């Protein structure tokens, strides 16, 4: 049995019961599309069976390479963007002590590159790495994505200068397509150890492949526990036919019911800053999968109680189009009690002796009730604690829910055609071969906008 639970007491009265009933039925039909591989985008369903299908030899290879990286490097530069980066960062940051500089002893600190094109960041990174021992994991399924490809160019030349061409294969590890793409070509040319991204697994569903597993393992996190959590959830989802009991089907049904009731924005809420990048991963998963054909819930995220002091006003009192999905970690650290303060200058002695995690739990309950009464429904996702296994459960739970939810919405959850538009304009403006005609059009459009 997985350890995650869903609670819905802060949803009462936001929609009629029969509307949820009808969506629960629809979730079964959507599930059937996933399982029979007969829905839109069915050529990208390799992730459905991933937890159970990862081979022992693949895990061994990841462990062996991460051992090599640990023994040679103070830093591991992970180059990738979107689905080729967010999953690893989500799991790493959720498992690492924030005050050990996001680093586990005996493991390199993970640094990210190629997840944007900011020149300050990348120049500072290159200067920083000059006198450090580092390895590189360059991750790109297509091998042609501009942001990581640009970062890789400059970091490759630094590695070559620092360690010599003959040592490239000791320092650079590629995760890419098995046969095609620029990165595959480079990996072959330099004899790099490479990991394969399967054809039928899209970027945002790839954290349980070497895309996520190598950086996570190099960061010192137990990937076998992470995978076993995902397997646990896969087994549960597969064997639970009742959609109300099936966590992913239930969540997909709830969020679609809320969407149909006018709640167009979903906020993923955490009360633990380590989950900030998990939220980023979740935003991509749902945003890129569902935001199509002028429909889809807009996925956003907030970190509480921090953001209660910035976004709290809007959530409580602004446009009533929001619902929240709250990840509650049930057993946070119990070892920090509030001290008695002589004279009680800040008025907090009434909670002296109480544990900080108890106080956080009261902040959660108070917020849930306030938002509920203010017209914001809340779905609660309870997880007993934050560790690789529970995160594995959470990852598969959300992935499966996303597939089901996208089919319930009637879109293809596994493509991302809209991402090409900015790329094409950028290629045209940069003068890429084949975009000559488009360059004139794009420049003319920009100029005409500039005049008005």
Out of 147, 232, 266, 288, the active site residue is: 288
Tokens in use for 6?
A: 């869903």
Q: Which of residues 399-428 bind ligand PA5 (CB under 6 A)?
A: 416
Which one among 39, 108, 148, 388 touches ligand PA5, defined by CB under 6 A?
148
Tokens in use for 143?
A: 């091998």
CB of 210: closest distance to ligand PA5 in angstroms? 12
Nearer to ligand PA5, 26 or 115 (CB): 115
Q: Which stretch binds ligand PA5 (CB under 6 A): 3-11, 75-83, 383-391, 437-445?
A: 75-83
Tokens in use for 13?
A: 């009265």
Contact between 202 and ligand PA5 by CB under 6 A: the answer reads yes
Nearer to ligand PA5, 284 or 378 (CB): 284
| 423 catalytic per annotation | yes
**Is there a contact between 146 and 423 (Cβ–Cβ < 8 Å)?**
yes
* Closest C-alpha among 23, 5, 16 to residue 380: 5
Contact between 145 and ligand PA5 by CB under 6 A: the answer reads yes
Contact between 137 and ligand PA5 by CB under 6 A: the answer reads no
Q: Which of residues 254-313 bind ligand PA5 (CB under 6 A)?
A: 288
Which one among 26, 31, 122, 204 touches ligand PA5, defined by CB under 6 A?
204
Maximum distance among all Cα pairs of the chain, rounded to whole angstroms: 75
Distance CA 303, CA 276 (A): 7
Distance CA 225, CA 7 (A): 26
**Is there a contact between 147 and 115 (Cβ–Cβ < 8 Å)?**
yes
Out of 241, 423, 440, 445, the active site residue is: 423
Instruction: Measure the CA dihedral 276/280/281/282, to 10°.
Output: 90
Element containing residue 300 per DSSP (H, E): strand 298-303
Residue nearest to ligand PA5 (CB): 203
Which one among 142, 154, 316, 412 touches ligand PA5, defined by CB under 6 A?
142
Q: Which stretch binds ligand PA5 (CB under 6 A): 46-54, 58-66, 81-89, 309-317?
A: 81-89
Nearer to ligand PA5, 109 or 204 (CB): 204
Give exposure, 251-267, as e/b (b: 16+ Cβ within 10 Å): bbbbbbbbbeeebebbb
Q: Which stretch binds ligand PA5 (CB under 6 A): 199-207, 243-251, 253-261, 379-387?
A: 199-207
CB of 430: closest distance to ligand PA5 in angstroms? 18
Which one among 2, 51, 87, 203 touches ligand PA5, defined by CB under 6 A?
203
CA-CA distances (angstroms) from residue 149 to 2, 83, 97, 158, 181?
39, 15, 31, 14, 11
Size of the site for ligand PA5 (CB under 6 A): 14
| 288 catalytic per annotation | yes
Contact between 215 and ligand PA5 by CB under 6 A: the answer reads no
Contact between 140 and ligand PA5 by CB under 6 A: the answer reads yes
Class of residue 417 by CB neighbours under 10 A (exposed 0-12, middle 13-18, buried 19+):
exposed
Contact between 3 and ligand PA5 by CB under 6 A: the answer reads no
| 56 catalytic per annotation | no
CB of 45: closest distance to ligand PA5 in angstroms? 14
Contact between 82 and ligand PA5 by CB under 6 A: the answer reads yes
Which residues have C-beta within 8 Å of that of residue 428, sequence separation ≥ 6? 435, 438, 439, 441, 442
Contact between 84 and ligand PA5 by CB under 6 A: the answer reads yes
Q: Which stretch binds ligand PA5 (CB under 6 A): 158-166, 200-208, 264-272, 403-411?
A: 200-208
Instruction: Measure the CA dihedral 201/204/206/212, to 10°.
Output: 160
Q: Which stretch binds ligand PA5 (CB under 6 A): 37-45, 125-133, 138-146, 309-317?
A: 138-146
Contact between 93 and ligand PA5 by CB under 6 A: the answer reads no
**Is there a contact between 79 and 155 (Cβ–Cβ < 8 Å)?**
yes
Distance CA 64, CA 132 (A): 22
CB of 416: closest distance to ligand PA5 in angstroms? 6
Out of 56, 130, 189, 309, the active site residue is: 309
Question: Phi/psi at 43 (nearest 5 deg)?
Answer: -75, -5
Question: Phi/psi at 174 (nearest 5 deg)?
Answer: -110, 140
Catalytic residue set: 288, 309, 423
Query: Site residues (CB under 6 A) for ligand PA5?
Result: 81-84, 140-142, 145, 148, 202-204, 288, 416
């Amino acid at each position: 049995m997985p350890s995650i639970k869903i609670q819905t007491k802060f949803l009462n009265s936001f929609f009629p019961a029969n509307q949820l009933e009808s969506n629960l039925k629809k979730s079964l039909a959507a599930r059937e599309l996933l399982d029979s591989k007969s829905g839109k985008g069915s050529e990208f369903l390799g992730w459905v069976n991933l937890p159970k299908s990862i081979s022992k030899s693949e895990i061994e290879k990841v462990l062996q390479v991460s051992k090599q990286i640990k023994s040679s490097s103070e830093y591991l530069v992970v180059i990738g963007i979107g689905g080729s980066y967010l999953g690893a960062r989500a799991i790493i940051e959720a498992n690492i002590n924030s005050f050990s500089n996001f680093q586990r002893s005996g493991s390199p600190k993970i640094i990210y590159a190629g997840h944007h094109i900011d020149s300050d960041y990348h120049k500072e990174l290159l200067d920083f790495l000059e006198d450090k021992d580092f390895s590189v994991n360059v991750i790109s399924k297509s091998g042609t994505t501009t942001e990581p490809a640009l970062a890789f160019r400059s970091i490759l030349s630094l590695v070559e200068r620092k360690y010599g061409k003959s040592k490239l294969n000791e320092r650079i590890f590629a995760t890419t397509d098995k046969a095609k793409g620029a990165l595959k070509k480079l990996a072959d040319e330099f004899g790099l150890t490479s990991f394969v991204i399967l054809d039928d697994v899209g970027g945002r569903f790839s954290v349980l492949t070497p895309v996520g597993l190598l950086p996570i393992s190099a960061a010192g996190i137990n990937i076998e526990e992470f995978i076993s959590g995902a397997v646990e959830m896969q087994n549960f989802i597969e064997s639970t036919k009742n959609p109300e009991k099936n966590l992913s089907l239930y969540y997909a049904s709830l969020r679609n019911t809320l969407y149909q009731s006018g709640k167009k924005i979903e906020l993923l809420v955490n009360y633990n800053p380590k989950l900030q990048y998990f939220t980023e991963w979740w935003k991509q998963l749902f945003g890129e999968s569902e935001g199509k054909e002028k429909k889809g819930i807009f996925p956003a995220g907030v970190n509480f109680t921090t953001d209660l002091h910035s976004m709290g006003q809007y959530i409580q009192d602004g446009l009533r189009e929001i619902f929240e999905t709250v990840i509650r970690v049930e057993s946070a650290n119990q070892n920090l009690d509030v001290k008695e303060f002589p004279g009680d200058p800040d008025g907090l002695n009434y909670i002296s002796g109480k544990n900080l995690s108890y106080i956080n739990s009261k902040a959660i309950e108070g917020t849930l009730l306030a938002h509920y009464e203010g017209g914001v429904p809340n779905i609660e996702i309870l997880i007993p604690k934050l560790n690789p296994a529970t995160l594995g459960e959470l990852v598969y739970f959300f992935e499966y829910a996303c597939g089901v939810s996208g089919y319930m919405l009637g879109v293809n959850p596994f493509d991302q055609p809209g991402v090409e538009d900015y790329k094409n304009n950028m290629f045209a403006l940069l003068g890429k071969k084949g975009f000559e005609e488009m360059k004139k059009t794009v420049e003319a459009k920009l100029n005409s906008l500039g005049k008005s």
